[in-house]
Chain A
Amino acid sequence: MGSVPLVPPPLPPVAASFSGDRSEFRRLVTRGALLELVTVGFYRFWLATDIRRHLWTHTAVEGDAFEYTGRGKELLVGFLFALAILVPIYLAYFLVGIEAERLKAFASFPLFAFLYVFGQFAIYRARRYRLTRTVWCGVRFWMEGSGWAYAARAALWAVLMLLTLGLILPWREAALERYKMRHSHYGDLQGRFEATGWEFFKRGWWIWLLGIASVTLPAVVIGLATAYAPARLPLAKLATTGNPVLVIAMLVAGPILYAVFKALEWRWWLSGIRFGDVRFEATLSRGALIGLYWKVIGWLVLISVAFGGYLYLCMQLVVRATEMPMDRFLASGGLQGNILFLVLVGIGYLPFALLFNVVMRVYLMRDVWVRLVGSTQVHGLGTLADVSVRGDLASAVGEGLADGLDVVGF
C-alpha cells in the first residue's frame, strides 16, 4: 500500500444528457403554431415558455435535470411594458427622422444605429430574464451588470466589425461573452468566460476567407477585365459568376459553411464557460449540424413549392372572377393592387409561415440543442455540491423589448 493521497483525485468528467422525446416536442410546437394562428400571435408567450420548459427539464447533468421557472404571463406583461417604452421611442424616432430627411434624403438611415443599440440592450436583459428562471439542484442562476454598458460595448464592436469586414468577429464575441459571463452567477459562484477570440479565429478563419473571397474575387476579376481587357470579359465571367457549375457550387457551399461555423462557434463558446472550477467541454464535430441545415432547406423548398402552387390557384380564381384572358390580365398589371388577390395570399401565407416556424423550431432549436447537450462533458462538478442560493429574479421587460424590436440574441 502506498501513501494515501492528501488531495483527492479530480472527479472524472460527467456527460450532460438530454432525455426528451422528439415527437413530443414536435407535437408541442405544432399545437403551439396552431394556437398562435387562432390567437393572432398572442400565444407566442406561452409557446416560448413551453418550449423552454421542455428543453430545460429534459436536460440533465449527473442525473439532475434543470428546471425553467418562467411563465407565459410574465412574458406577456414584459411585452406590454416594452410597448409602453417603445411607442414613445418610435414616435420620437419618426419625428427625428422627418427632421433628418428634411436636411438630406434618406439621412434618417443612421438612426437605425440607435435602434441597434437598443436591440443589444434588449438582448442582454432577455438573457438575464432567462438565466434567472433557470434552476439546477434547487439553486438558481442569476445575472447583474448593466444592459446599457453592454449595449455600448456591442455597438463599438459593431463599428469595428464593419471596418474589418467581419474579421474581428471572434474577438467581438469573446469580449461580449466575457462581459455577460462575468456578471452571471450560479448561486454564490461567479461565472467567467475564458475562451479567447484567437482560439475561435484559428478554427474558423478559413470560413471567413472563403466568404469574403466568394464576394470580392468575382467583383475584382470582372472589374479588372472590364477596365483593362474587355475582350477577355466573357472569359472572366466564365471563371466567376457566369459559370453555372461554380454558382451551384457556391450555393451548396453556403449552408455547409454556415453549419460548420455554427458548430465551431457553439463548441468554442461552451469550452470557454466557467463557474468556479466547473468547466465544460463540447466534442461537437465540425460537420455535426450540416445535415440539420440541409433538412431545413429541403423543407423550405417543399413549403415554397406548395405555396407557389397555392398562389397559382389564387391567380386562376381571381382571373376567373374578372372574366379576362390570363395573358391580358397579367399584361395590364391586374394582380398588383388587386385586393382580392392580396387577401387570398395573406390568408394562405399564414399557414405556410407557421409550418416553416415548426420546422425551424424542431431542427434548429431542438435538434441543435440535443446535439450540443449530447456532446457536452462537465468537469469539476465537485464544486457544485454545496452552492448557496443568491440573486434576485429579473423582470421580463427585456424579453418584451427583444420581441418588440424583433431582435434575436443569446
Chain B
Amino acid sequence: MSMSMDSAPLQEPAPPGASGSAVYFDGSSSRRHLVTPVFKDRLELDETGEATVVWSYDDIRRADGPPGVLRLRCVTALALARLEIRDASVASELVSRCARLDEHAPGRHGVGAIIGWSLAAAASIVAVVLFGVPLAADRLTPLVPQALERRFGDAADAQVKAFFGDKICNEAAGQQAFSKLVDRLRDAAGLDNSVGAAVLATPIPNAFALPGGRIYVFSGLLAKVDNPDEIAGVLAHELGHLKHRDSVREVIHNGGSSFLIGLLFGDITGSGAVIFASRSLVTASYSREAEQDADSFAIDVMHRLGRSPKGLGELLFRVTGKEGDKSLSILANHPLTEDRLKRMNEEDRPPSGPPLLTDPEWIALKAICG
C-alpha cells in the first residue's frame, strides 16, 4: 500500500467515475458517444476502452450548458463537437486543468467596453445632432433645386387643405387689394413671381409660408388686423421665411435629427415620447433663430416701403397675449411676443412712403371672405 502511495504522483490518476461518465457528440452527427475522460498530458476520451478522441487542455473552451452539466467544446475540433460532463468531481478536475477554459466564453462580453462604446456613440450622435445637422441643413438648403422645393410645397398644400378646408376667399375687390399688397411687398423683398399668397377661410388666427413660395393667411388672423401695415408686416415676415428657404432647412434639420435620435434610442419600447421631447429641444433654438431672421427681414422690407414695422408687433401681441410668465424664456420655441413687440417698437419710424392700401381697398380686403 505504502509503495503505491509513494509512487502515486508519478502515475496518471485513475480515471475517476465509472466508465461512460461523459457524453460526447463528435460534431458530425447527433449520435451520443458514452465516453470516459482520461486525464493524461492531454484529455483522452475513451469509448469501448480505447482513446477515440484527444483534446489538448489549452484548446478546451466552455460552451453554454444547463445547470449541473459542464459542456465543453474544442477550438481545434469540429465546431459543434461537444463534451458533456455531469459528474461534479470529474468536472472540477477538468476545469482545473484547462487554463483557457473561459476565454471568449459567452456571457463574458466586457460590459464595461459595451457601455464605453455606447456612450461614445451616443456622444457622437448628440454632437452631430447639435452641430453637424444644422450645419448640413445650412449647406444643403441652397443645393435643393427649386423644383423639388415646389414639390414639397405641393404635398404640404394638399395636407393644409385637407386639415383646414380648401375654401379660398376671393371676393373680387378684396382679392385685387390683396394682390396689390402682395405685389408691392414681393417687389420690395426682391422675390420673383413664383411667390403667391391667398386667404384661407378658417377661424384660426395664423399665417404661414409653404415651401416653394405659397403663403396662406387665415381669415381668423385677418379679422384681428386693424390696419394695412399690420397685415403687410405678417406677409413680409412670411416672405422672409421664403427668402431664407426656412422650410427646406427645417425639413432637412428635423428629418436628420429625428432619424439620428431615433437611431440612438433604438428599441427601448415606446421611446417616441423621448424622441419627441428631445427633438423639440433641438428645434427650439433653431426655430427661434429662423423667426428672428424673418423678423429682421420684415423690418427691413417695411422700412424700404417707408412704413413702420410696429404694427406687426402689435398684431402678434393682440393674438398671443403676454407670454413671459408662461414658460421659461430660454426654452420657449419662438421669440417671446413681448420681445418682438419691443423690437418692432424700437424700429418704429414715422411713415415716409405712401399708405400701402387706400381706404376703400382696405375695406375690400377686410371683406375678402364675404
Contact = CB atoms under 8 A, between A and B. Distances in A.
Contact of A68 (B64, B71, B331): B64
Interface in A1-47: 19, 35-36, 38-44, 46
B264 interface: yes
A296 to B, nearest CB: 13
A216 interface: no
Contact of A40 (B71, B265, B333): B265
Nearest to A140: B80
B281 interface: yes
Interface stretch (A147-155, A167-175, A320-328): A320-328
A295 interface: no
Interface stretch (A101-109, A110-118, A238-246): A101-109
A19 B284 CA distance: 54
Interface residues of B, number: 65
Contacts of B271: 41, 350, 353
B98 interface: no
Greatest chain A CB density within 10 A among B30, B263, B266 is at B30
Interface stretch (A49-57, A158-166, A248-256, A284-292): A49-57
A351 B118 CA distance: 18
B22 to A, nearest CB: 13
B79 to A, nearest CB: 9
Nearest to A103: B158
Interface string A343-367: 1011001100110110000000000
Q: Which of A40, A65, A350 has the largest number of chain B CB atoms within 10 A?
A: A40
Contacts of A136: 30
Contact of B26 (A73, A135, A138, A406): A138
Nearest to B326: A334
Nearest to B68: A19
A340 B327 CA distance: 8
A39 B264 CA distance: 9
A69 B65 CA distance: 11
A177 interface: no
Contact of B266 (A44, A101, A104): A44
B121 A42 contact: yes
B80 A139 contact: yes
B266 A105 contact: no
A50 B111 CA distance: 12
A205 interface: no
Interface residues of A, number: 71
Given A72-B109, A105-B158, A349-B274, A357 B66 contact: no
A349 to B, nearest CB: 5
B159 A39 contact: no
A165 B335 CA distance: 51
B67 interface: yes
Given A339-B280, A349-B274, A138 B114 contact: no
Interface string B271-285: 101101110110010
A406 B27 CA distance: 36
A28 to B, nearest CB: 10
A98 B328 contact: no
Nearest to A40: B122
A105 B107 CA distance: 51
A36 B29 contact: no
B158 A101 contact: yes
B269 A357 contact: yes
A394 interface: no
A306 interface: no
B281 A322 contact: no
B119 interface: yes
Contacts of B263: 83
B66 A65 contact: yes
B266 A403 contact: yes
Given A35-B111, A322-B325, A135 B80 contact: yes
B112 to A, nearest CB: 11
Interface in B27-69: 27-32, 63-67, 69
Interface stretch (A220-228, A259-267, A381-389): A381-389
Nearest to B166: A105
Q: Which of A60, A101, A386, A403 has the most CB of B within 10 A?
A: A101
Interface string B101-133: 000001101010011011101100000000000
A199 interface: no
A342 interface: yes
Nearest to B83: A138
B71 A67 contact: yes
Contact of B115 (A39, A187, A321, A406): A39
Interface string A380-400: 000011111100000000000
Contacts of B203: none
Nearest to A102: B154
B332 A339 contact: yes
Contact of B268 (A36, A97, A98, A140): A36
A71 interface: yes
Nearest to B327: A338
A57 B66 contact: yes
Given A105-B162, A106-B162, A340 B331 contact: yes
Interface in B272-310: 273-274, 276-278, 280-281, 284
B16 interface: no
A387 B264 contact: no
B30 A106 contact: no
Contact of B118 (A39, A94, A342, A388): A39
Interface in B232-286: 255, 259, 263-271, 273-274, 276-278, 280-281, 284
A137 interface: yes
B29 A40 contact: no
B65 A67 contact: yes
A57 B71 CA distance: 10
Given A67-B71, A322-B327, A337-B327, A94 B255 contact: yes
A368 to B, nearest CB: 18
A346 B268 contact: no
B288 to A, nearest CB: 11
24 contacts: A41-B265, A41-B268, A43-B115, A44-B266, A57-B65, A67-B65, A67-B82, A68-B64, A98-B152, A99-B151, A99-B155, A104-B158, A105-B158, A138-B26, A139-B25, A139-B30, A322-B326, A337-B333, A338-B326, A340-B331, A342-B281, A343-B277, A388-B30, A389-B80
The 5 closest A-B pairs by CB, nearest first: A138-B25, A39-B118, A101-B155, A339-B331, A105-B158
Given A104-B158, A346-B274, 7 more contacts: A42-B117, A106-B162, A138-B25, A139-B25, A322-B325, A384-B30, A387-B29
